[in-house]
Chain A
Amino acid sequence: MNLDLSELSQLAPIFRELFKGYHVSRRDPELYAQLSNQQDQYRALFKALGFELVCDPRGFYYFVPEQMGAQVNKTAQRLALFTFILVEHLADQGRDPLAVLDGGSIGRDELPALLEKYRDLFVQAEVTTQDELEEKVMRRLGQLGFASEDNGIYRFLAPMHRFLDVCLSVQQDRDLAATLHSDLPLPSPQLIDDEPEDEIISLALDEPELSEEDALARAMAEERTQQEIEA
């Protein structure tokens, strides 16, 4: 492919932004238009330089770091956590998470309640105050092109689909679901400490007249058997 650099008039700003980890979307009309119009040329040029330009059909462009060197950094984890929290928070409020995260917005005034409600989770991402939430999450979202801030309103942009895709892949991750469910508390411990159920059942069969305790033990054993069958 012959590249005509004079056609790539926005090469410098595009490379600078993408190299910083920024996602170019329609919010940057000039860069986006140039990338859309000269997509193949840019892709070829960046590939030759060792950068993989991803052109997401949902309307955004970004660089993928090489898999070898790529590590999920703290920022990615923090932003993913924020997305999970926001989706759940909005769903709890009866609002539509997709409508908000796909072009919608939230106000800065909503952040304190969010932080308070999910404090235990934010702590894991080293976010404990509203300032930290704004600095480590909201500003980062802006720096990377996932959101824009205007007058205390955070508007989410098309690249947020990358995090929504994470939600989808988590949902499809059967292993994760299985691990989670396997950790659920087991049935009450008293039942585990009981005598083997065969003995209780055989006792009940042998002795038609049951004491109150025996009747209780039998009922518990029957219930447990039923639970096992249902499981």
Chain B
Amino acid sequence: MIDPKRVLRALAEHWTLLEPLCEHFDSGTLSLVELRNQLSAQLPDSTPVDITALLDQWIRLDILVPVAKSPNRFELNAQIHDFLAYLRREHRLGLCLEIEAYLRHLERLAGYIQDAFEVRDASDLARQLRLLDMRVRDVLKKLANDEQALVAVAERAKTSDRQIPLRQRYAEVLATWDEYVEPMIQLVAADGAFEQGVYRVEHVLLRLLGEQQRLGQLVDDDLLLRTHARILEMQTTAQLTLRRARELLLPLREEARRHNAVTRGAALALAAIRRKGLDAVPQAALPLFSRPQSTFLGSASQVEAYVYALARFQPKPAQFPKASATRKGEAPRAPRTAREMLERCQQALPLPDLMLWLLEQEPEGATDELLYWFSRLSRDARFQRERLQRRDYLTVEHQLSLSSFALIKSLTAPDKAEKNPV
């Protein structure tokens, strides 16, 4: 039998050494060599003999115990580990099943209490009531511990490195939800085992109180009332713990779920686009927004004419030549490219009147086409130009009134001109 005072004294005396070791023991066992290295790092002035003596003391006091089947590896004695965890406010989340097991035991105890009362065994009744009270305290202790552990789970998830993928960061949250919170929701539900168990025990205790008044006291009423009050406290605490668990973990769980859904949706959309093109993404899903309006100047009459034309738009069937058909008459001339026109214009310099030159070059040209070339050539940076007086020009279809330009000479080297968009 180890003297408890010696264990407590050793824990107090070596707390500075034991506390850092706890973190290692939280995540696994340590070999003798690892233990020695840890201790010599903390005690730089000590000799190997001192460290051996220290380890011997811990082993003798049952603070350190060898791992089963691995005599060279050590772990903290489970009882001591729990005690130290309590002192360090490190809480490990228990199992929901443990609470369920406690409840079953409470129900059994309620049965024993009823039996003891029926046979009028006062000492057994008092003993069973004390056991029931202690079990309820166990459940309360466990719920308090679990709540702290849940807070720690949420804190770890929130404070972990943002660069780690959310799936990994929230792995513990998701596992905790599935393994603890979800079963707890089932357990504490109105028709769950917790409520039913509490109801049965409560029923027995209240009946006992009534019967004691009728048949005479076997135990002090206060004991019954205290136990009853503690059971109600347990019920409230369980509901509060569950609510707190939901408040802490549900947003994180939803965030992780949303994250997964977004990532999966993006991958799905990209797969669809790869196979079927950009239109594969359901159109209804895409955000609709007004297109940024380009600003342009137009006179009121231009806008009116434009709208008028739009309103009376008549589609014309486009006539495409048949591949098999032979052409009648002259082959149509290919449209002139801007480069071609620029070159011709450059060769013809100086041009006293650009519009006149265009009319000579393209006597059959449509008005809009001629105007396009006029605009295109007169604006080109390679020509030096001079504004002429407004006058009338006659195309095949129209009479135009405009101020033409005289193109005097070429300003730039041809390579700069190449950069202009054509």
Q: Does A156 contact B (CB under 8 A)?
A: no
Q: Are A170 and B292 in contact (CB under 8 A)?
A: no
Q: Are B291 and A21 in contact (CB under 8 A)?
A: yes
* Known contacts A168-B258, A176-B272; is-contact A88 B263 (Cβ 8 Å): yes
* Known contacts A167-B269, A170-B265, A180-B272; is-contact A76 B286 (Cβ 8 Å): yes
Determine the chain A residues whose CB is within 8 A of the CB of B259 once the complex forms: 96-98
| Chain A: interface residue total (CB-CB under 8 A) | 53
Q: Does A81 contact B (CB under 8 A)?
A: yes
**Residue in A21, A23, A171 whose beta carbon sits within 8 Å of that of B268 in the complex:** A171
Give the one of B262, B263, B278, B286 with max A CB within 10 A.
B262
Secondary structure class of chain B's binding surface, majority of residues? helix
A99 to B269 Cα, complex, angstroms: 20
Q: Are B278 and A124 in contact (CB under 8 A)?
A: yes
Determine the chain A residues whose CB is within 8 A of the CB of B188 once the complex forms: none
Smallest distance from the beta carbon of A101 to chain B beta carbons, Å?
8
Smallest distance from the beta carbon of B290 to chain A beta carbons, Å?
4
Q: Are B255 and A169 in contact (CB under 8 A)?
A: no
* Known contacts A77-B281, A88-B263, A180-B272; is-contact A96 B166 (Cβ 8 Å): yes
Nearest B residue to A163, CB-CB: B287
Smallest distance from the beta carbon of A120 to chain B beta carbons, Å?
7
Give the one of B261, B265, B275 with max A CB within 10 A.
B265
* Known contacts A95-B163, A168-B262; is-contact A62 B289 (Cβ 8 Å): yes
Smallest distance from the beta carbon of A116 to chain B beta carbons, Å?
16
Secondary structure class of chain A's binding surface, majority of residues? helix
Chain B residues 240-295 with CB under 8 Å of chain A are 255, 258-259, 261-275, 277-283, 285-293
Q: Does B101 contact A (CB under 8 A)?
A: no
Q: Does B192 contact A (CB under 8 A)?
A: no
Q: Are A169 and B282 in contact (CB under 8 A)?
A: yes
Chain A residues 162-177 with CB under 8 Å of chain B are 162-173, 176-177
Q: Does A106 contact B (CB under 8 A)?
A: no
Chain A interfacial positions (CB closer than 8 Å to B): 19-23, 62-65, 70, 72-73, 75-77, 80-81, 83-85, 87-88, 91, 94-99, 120-121, 124-125, 140, 143-144, 162-173, 176-177, 179-180, 183
Q: List 25 A-B contacts (CB under 8 A).
A: A20-B292, A21-B289, A21-B290, A21-B291, A21-B293, A62-B289, A64-B288, A76-B289, A80-B286, A81-B273, A84-B273, A85-B266, A94-B165, A97-B262, A97-B263, A98-B255, A121-B273, A124-B278, A166-B265, A167-B269, A168-B261, A170-B281, A180-B268, A180-B271, A180-B272
Could you list 4 further interchain pairs (A-B, Cβ under 8 angstroms) beyond the known A95-B165, A124-B278, A166-B281?
Answer: A80-B269, A144-B289, A165-B287, A180-B272
